[in-house]
C-alpha cells in the first residue's frame, strides 16, 4: 500500500507541476512580446526564467517516467494472471489515443496523451524482449533524440551567424544578430500563434486545431524517442528495486536524488545564461532533474514528512487522467476569449495565482470525490472500457 501511495504522490506532483508549465501557455496567450519587454534586467524575466527552470519539461519528464513504472507493474500483473500482454495492452493504448485525440481537438492543442499512447504501443512490444534488447532500444531512442536536438541547435547557431546572414539574407534567421534577438524572434513567433488561437470562439479553436493538426502535433511526434527512453527507464527502475524499501531500493532512491539534483540543477541552469540551451533545457536536460524530483518524493516519504500534504497530492495522482483534463478545461475557460478572457490582462502574478487556485481546486475535488468513489470519473470509464477484452478473454477460457 505504501508503494502505491508513493507512486500516486509522484504522479500527482507531476500533474500539478505540468500545470505550472501549461498555465503560462494559457495566461500569456493574448500577450504579444515587444522588444523592450525582453530585458535581462527585468525582474519579471528573472521570475519567468526561474519558473521555467523548475517546471519546463521537468514534470512532464517525471510523468513520462511514471508511465513507464506503471507499465512495468501492469506487465507483471498480466504475467501473474497469465493474460496475453500485447493484445490486451494495445486496447488500452487505443483508448488512450482516442482520449488524447478528443482532448487535443476539444480542449488543448498541446495534449501529451496521444504521444504517450503511441509510445506505449512501441514499448509494450519492447518490454517482452530480453533486457539486452531493451537496453539497446533504450540507448538508440535516447541517442536519436539527443542527436536531433543537437542538430537543431547547431542549425540555429549556424544560420544566425554573420557569415550565413550575409550569404543568405532571406533565410529565417537573417534578422537575428545576437542571442537576445534569437530569444525575441522565438517569443514573437510563439506568442503570435497563441494570440491567434486565443481570440477564437471555442468552435473556431476546434476547427483551427483540426486544420493545423500536423503542425500542432509536431512536438508530440518529435518527443517520441525521448518518451521511449523514459518509459524504458521507468521500467528498469522498477526491475532494479526502486519501489522496495530495503537496502537496495533505498540506495537506488538516493542515487536518483544525487544524480537528479547534483547533475540536473547545474546543466538546467545553462539555459538561464545562454538562449541556445533553451530547447535542451526542455527536451534533454529536464528529464535528469525529473529524477531528482522522483528521488525527493521517496526521501520525504522515508522520513515521514508532510504526511497530510502527501495524502492530498496522492489524491490528485489517483485521478491523474481526470485532473490532467480538468486543469486544461478550467485554464481554457479562465484565459481564452470564449471564457473569462483573463489573458487580455496579462500579469505574472495572476498566472501564478491561477496555477495555485487550480491546483487547490484539483486537490479539493479529488479528495471529495475519492471519499465516495475509488477512482476518478474518467478513470472509471477507462477501467470499464479497458476491461472489455480482458473479460472476453476470460470468458473464452471458461
**Residue percentage of the chain with pLDDT more than 90:** 58
Q: How far is CA 193 from CA 48, 73, 114, 181, 227, in A?
A: 20, 40, 21, 18, 26
Q: Which three cell numbers stand for residue 151?
A: 542538430
Average pLDDT over residues 161-184: 49
DSSP class per residue in 71-122: HHHHHHHHHHTT--HHHHHHHHHHHHHHHHHHHHHHT-TT--HHHHHHHHHH
Q: Which grid coordinates are listed for 286?
A: 529536464
Angle at 366 between CA 223 and CA 53, to 5 degrees: 40
pLDDT at 388 (0 to 100)? 87
Residues 13-54: tens digit of each pLDDT: 999 999 998 998 888 765 544 434 444 445 556 666 777 788
Q: Determine contact, residues 114/223, Cβ cutoff 8 Å.
A: no
pLDDT tens by residue, 112-134? 999 999 999 999 999 999 999 99
- Mean pLDDT, the chain, rounded, equals 84
Q: Which of 37-51, 219-233, 280-294 has the least mean pLDDT?
A: 37-51
The predicted pLDDT at position 160 comes to 55
CB-based contacts of 58, cutoff 8 Å, min separation 6 = 17, 268, 286, 287, 289, 290, 293
Asked whether the CA dihedral 210, 211, 215, 216 is positive or negative, the reply is negative
pLDDT at residue 314 is higher than 80: yes
- Spatial separation of the C-alpha atoms in residues 28 and 45, rounded to whole Å: 13
Dig out the grid coordinates for 304 from the structure: 515521514
For residue 190, is pLDDT > 70? Answer: no
From the number of C-beta atoms within 10 Å of its C-beta (0-12, 13-18, 19+), residue 20 rates as buried
Closest to 89 measured CA to CA, from 123, 42, 133, 55: 123
Q: How confident is the model at residue 368 (pLDDT cuts 50, 70, 90)?
A: very high
Query: How far apart are alpha carbons 285 and 49 in whole angstroms?
Result: 15
The predicted structure's pLDDT at residue 362: 97
Predicted structure pTM score: 0.87
* Whole-number pLDDT of residue 189: 46
The Cα 231–Cα 89 span in angstroms is 15
Residue 137 reports pLDDT greater than 80 = yes
310 vs 59: CA distance, rounded Å? 17
Domain boundaries along the sequence of the chain = 2-397
The residue behind cell 524482449 is 129
| Owner of C-alpha cell 486537490 | 363
Q: What is the pLDDT of residue 158?
A: 63
**Local structure of 312: helix, strand or coil:** helix
The whole-number pLDDT of residue 183 equals 41
Q: 253 pLDDT band (50/70/90 cuts)?
A: very high
Alpha-carbon gap, residue 17 to 350, rounded angstroms: 17
Residue 43 is predicted with a pLDDT of 57
Query: What are 66-106's pLDDT values in tens digits?
Result: 999 999 999 999 999 888 999 899 999 999 999 999 999 99
Confidence of residue 175 (pLDDT cuts 50, 70, 90): low
What was the pLDDT predicted at 191?
46
Query: Distance between terminal CA atoms of the chain?
Result: 32
Q: Which residue has the cell 540555429?
A: 156
* pLDDT at 10 exceeding the cut of 90: yes
Give the pLDDT band of residue 146 (cuts 50, 70, 90). Answer: very high
Q: Using the predicted structure, report yes or no on whether residue 59 has a pLDDT greater than 80.
A: yes
Q: Is the dihedral of CA 298, 139, 74, 220 positive or negative?
A: positive
Residue 289's closest CA among 230, 203, 338, 348?
230
> To the nearest whole percent, how much of the chain has pLDDT over 70?
81
Range with the lowest mean pLDDT among 43-57, 151-165, 268-282? Answer: 151-165
Amino acid at each position: 500500500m505504501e508503494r502505491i501511495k508513493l507512486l500516486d504522490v509522484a504522479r500527482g506532483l507531476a500533474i500539478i507541476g505540468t500545470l505550472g508549465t501549461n498555465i503560462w501557455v494559457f495566461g500569456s496567450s493574448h500577450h504579444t512580446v515587444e522588444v523592450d519587454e525582453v530585458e535581462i534586467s527585468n525582474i519579471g524575466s528573472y521570475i519567468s526564467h526561474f519558473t521555467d527552470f523548475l517546471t519546463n519539461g521537468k514534470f512532464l519528464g517525471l510523468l513520462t517516467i511514471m508511465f513507464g513504472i506503471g507499465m512495468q507493474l501492469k506487465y507483471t500483473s498480466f504475467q501473474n494472471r497469465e493474460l496475453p500482454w500485447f493484445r490486451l495492452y494495445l486496447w488500452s493504448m487505443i483508448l488512450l489515443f482516442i482520449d488524447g485525440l478528443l482532448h487535443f481537438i476539444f480542449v488543448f492543442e498541446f495534449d501529451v496523451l496521444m504521444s504517450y499512447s503511441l509510445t506505449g504501443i512501441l514499448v509494450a512490444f519492447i518490454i517482452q524482449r530480453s533486457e539486452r534488447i531493451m537496453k539497446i532500444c533504450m540507448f538508440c531512442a535516447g541517442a536519436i533524440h539527443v542527436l536531433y536536438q543537437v542538430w537543431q541547435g547547431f542549425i540555429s547557431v549556424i544560420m544566425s551567424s554573420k557569415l550565413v546572414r550575409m550569404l543568405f539574407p532571406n533565410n529565417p534567421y537573417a534578422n537575428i544578430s545576437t542571442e537576445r534577438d534569437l530569444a525575441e524572434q522565438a517569443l514573437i513567433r510563439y506568442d503570435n500563434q497563441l494570440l491567434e488561437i486565443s481570440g477564437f470562439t471555442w468552435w473556431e479553436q476546434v476547427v483551427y486545431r483540426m486544420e493545423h493538426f500536423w503542425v500542432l502535433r509536431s512536438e508530440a511526434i518529435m518527443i517520441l524517442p525521448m518518451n521511449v527512453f523514459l518509459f524504458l527507464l521507468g521500467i528498469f527502475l522498477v526491475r532494479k528495486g526502486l519501489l522496495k524499501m530495503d537496502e537496495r531500493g533505498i540506495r537506488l532512491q538516493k542515487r536518483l536524488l544525487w544524480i537528479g539534483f547534483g547533475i540536473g540543477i547545474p546543466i538546467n541552469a545553462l539555459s538561464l545564461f545562454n538562449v541556445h540551451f533553451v530547447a535542451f533545457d526542455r527536451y534533454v536536460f529536464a528529464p535528469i532533474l525529473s529524477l531528482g524530483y522522483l528521488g525527493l518524493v521517496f526521501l520525504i516519504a522515508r522520513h515521514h514528512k508532510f504526511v497530510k500534504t502527501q495524502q492530498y497530492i496522492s489524491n490528485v495522482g489517483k485521478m491523474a487522467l481526470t485532473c490532467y483534463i480538468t486543469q486544461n478545461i478550467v485554464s481554457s475557460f479562465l484565459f481564452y476569449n470564449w471564457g473569462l478572457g483573463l489573458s487580455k490582462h496579462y500579469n505574472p502574478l495572476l498566472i501564478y495565482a491561477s496555477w495555485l487556485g487550480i491546483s487547490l481546486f484539483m486537490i479539493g475535488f479529488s479528495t471529495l470525490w475519492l471519499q465516495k468513489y475509488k477512482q476518478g470519473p474518467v478513470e472509471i470509464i477507462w477501467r470499464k472500457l479497458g476491461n472489455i477484452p480482458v473479460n472476453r478473454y476470460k470468458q473464452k477460457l471458461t
